Chain A
């Protein structure tokens, strides 16, 4: 250890231990095991503590990255987590699922020397700086900011584990006889819908990252915050979408428990627009934040898509993650996965489905993507892990028809694609090659080609053609008192961008409730 320290800064990240691929495809336990204390401190010491750090600019919520890394260097983990929590309400989640390689880590000066983000002048300065620190090799990896964030968050979770048991995160809107601490019952919700004191109350619709981070900021500003969630469990995609092996549900629960301890109330089993309307909420709350996400599945509309054995990614993942179908019959919800599984799509969602399929016993799990690996929007680390686990990739192909037998899908007819000119997303557009059809034998297909926004209907609420809610830079919608953010305003994006939108809206809500002014002053 001593010797290593004297070598100066290591060029590559300290590796994080992972479950062996052969073993992990037999279970749903977490793949990445996290740094231990010694490794975390060593990794932290790779940080150059830059005066003008690049990393912070890459963080959508502006976490003071060098400060928390410094705390790790000094083994003051409590201070470290405090620094993160100042800006980020879900560090244990973000440390695991944020695309760090395209955010903070992509701008880390340690690696950026070989990056397109550098101006020549800055590069010269950097080289000098690096030389002083003894970093000489050409290919340098950034500081493992994500892993360090996760380390601190896990440290805190472990520390709190003794104090907090496994609580149910929710109480529902019913009301039984006994009251439950934290979650208001149906009767109490109905009583909340009165004018008195409403300027002190904010309703949040949806408990995904956008809603949770909005609630976190508002509760810290002293508001009474009630989150209304349609499902029986809070967390949004974190709970129903991202699988256990990438984001354990006890981690999500613990983060949500923390919010509840701060005073956020969560009422589950309330579908806003059905159980209660936004208009009604405005009667009892000073403002409403809509963070309902992009949870509506998209199908391709090709023949045979309703055959048995063909799932939307959302159904597949909801059965597995929210309903725990991977533990059937111990849990009641079933899922059926055949020997050969094809997943259509190239994002995080598709990879999650393909990896779940392996864990549910599929002998072959194939990703069918219409572009190539370079265009895949999934996290690089997860592509690598999927490959280690044996997921196969069929690039430049897309299904055009499903062929069934006795109602069940048996084969999938695909067409080859080639890449044309770049489209609006900057990625090269896939074009079908005529006459290139071929067949893949399948028992199960998961369609993971994206989700549509899930906006509740509100009179006067402006939505785009794509179904996203129209907001200004503060998150204000076209309806007075109603704010929105997250996937429902952007279309499917990332956890951290949803959190950042929730936070921005919280500050705007604070301003609105304080000044009672909806439109900005013209002056």
Chain B
């Protein structure tokens, strides 16, 4: 049992928990994730470790309530417990001094980019962060990203904050400006967010040959390499994202396959959500 010691709502439907899990907190590194299960009948889902405090023994997670599991999770209160919480899983992010790096995050993907930006900053990189959301209300971690970035760009789909458009648009402009000699060259790009966004980022950097990594989010079960639910094709080879990743070379990832594989259980997810909402409507909790 893993106690939620602090709960905050970052944006409508986006929550942040600090969970007491000292063994996980002790060894967590940027880029790793946990698998959790809310209750006895729950499914196992992966969530990025946004931050970890070894002294307090807490691990920070951020999630958007999209389906039954994240809704159930979001309904827990401070002091409640999560049934299972295992980690840290996956290979830590590649953190070293590249020079000038761009950290690109979309939606809750910003939560996965934040620990990377922080770690990249800590080893002395010049950090440019580009974060985006559908609209102003849904933008998360802006202040935290500021703290670890030398430059920060914000985009929203509807233009309610920052530039109207996509994070990949900003990245393209920066790369073009750099190519024209108008600003510093970017040496490394790390991105996380919706699959379409990561794919767009990969396409933007590809012509420039800039090393680009993405943090993938396939459907997982065990998270320890035992099932292959999380398999992705990278450079023509099958990889298990939970043990070989979740970070991979963006220019080698088969994003279309990932999109298709992530849609495997759409119908079931819809049904589960519908039943949950109907139960809530009937006065249940």
Contacts and interface: CB of A to CB of B under 8 A. Distances in A.
A175 B22 contact: yes
Contact of A174 (B1, B41, B257): B1
Interface residues of B, number: 51
B265 A296 contact: no
A274 B27 contact: yes
Interface in A274-303: 274-276, 295-297, 299, 301
Contacts of A269: 84-86
B222 A332 contact: no
Interface in B53-93: 57, 68-69, 81-89
Contact of B21 (A174, A232, A295, A297): A174
Interface string A185-219: 01101100000000000000000000000000000
B260 interface: yes
A268 B84 contact: yes
Interface of A: 168, 171-177, 180, 186-187, 189-190, 230-232, 268-271, 274-276, 295-297, 299, 301, 305-306, 308, 311-312, 314-315, 318-319, 323-324, 328-334, 336, 407, 454
A275 B27 CA distance: 7
B228 interface: yes
Contact of A186 (B21, B43, B68): B21
27 contacts: A172-B85, A173-B24, A174-B3, A174-B19, A175-B1, A175-B2, A180-B1, A186-B57, A189-B23, A231-B222, A232-B84, A269-B84, A269-B85, A270-B23, A271-B86, A274-B88, A275-B24, A275-B87, A306-B233, A311-B228, A312-B228, A314-B226, A315-B228, A329-B271, A333-B44, A336-B264, A454-B226
B66 to A, nearest CB: 14
Contacts of A296: 225-226
A324 B41 contact: yes
Contacts of A314: 226-228
Given A274-B88, A274-B89, A308 B261 contact: yes
Nearest to A298: B228
A306 B226 contact: no
Contacts of B22: 175, 186-187, 190
Contact of A315 (B82, B87, B227): B227
B89 A329 contact: no
Contacts of A175: 1-3, 20-22, 57
Which one of A297, A318, A319, A332 has the highest number of Cβ atoms from chain B below 10 Å of its Cβ? A332
Nearest to A231: B222
B23 to A, nearest CB: 4
B138 interface: no
A180 B1 CA distance: 9
Given A187-B22, A268-B84, A270-B86, A232 B37 contact: yes
B42 A332 contact: yes
Given A173-B21, A173-B23, A306-B257, 12 more contacts: A176-B20, A186-B23, A190-B22, A190-B26, A270-B23, A270-B86, A275-B27, A306-B238, A311-B228, A318-B222, A332-B68, A407-B261
Nearest to B90: A274
Contacts of A186: 21-24, 57
A450 to B, nearest CB: 13
Contacts of A180: 1
Which one of B42, B86, B225, B261 has the highest number of Cβ atoms from chain A below 10 Å of its Cβ? B86
B32 to A, nearest CB: 8
Nearest to B80: A176
Contacts of B2: 172, 174-176
Contacts of B24: 173, 186, 275
Closest 8 CB pairs of A and B: A174-B2, A334-B268, A407-B260, A315-B227, A269-B86, A232-B84, A332-B43, A312-B228
Contacts of A171: 1
B263 interface: yes
Which one of A177, A231, A270, A311 has the highest number of Cβ atoms from chain B below 10 Å of its Cβ? A231
A101 B44 CA distance: 38
A172 B1 contact: yes
B221 A271 contact: no
B86 A315 contact: no
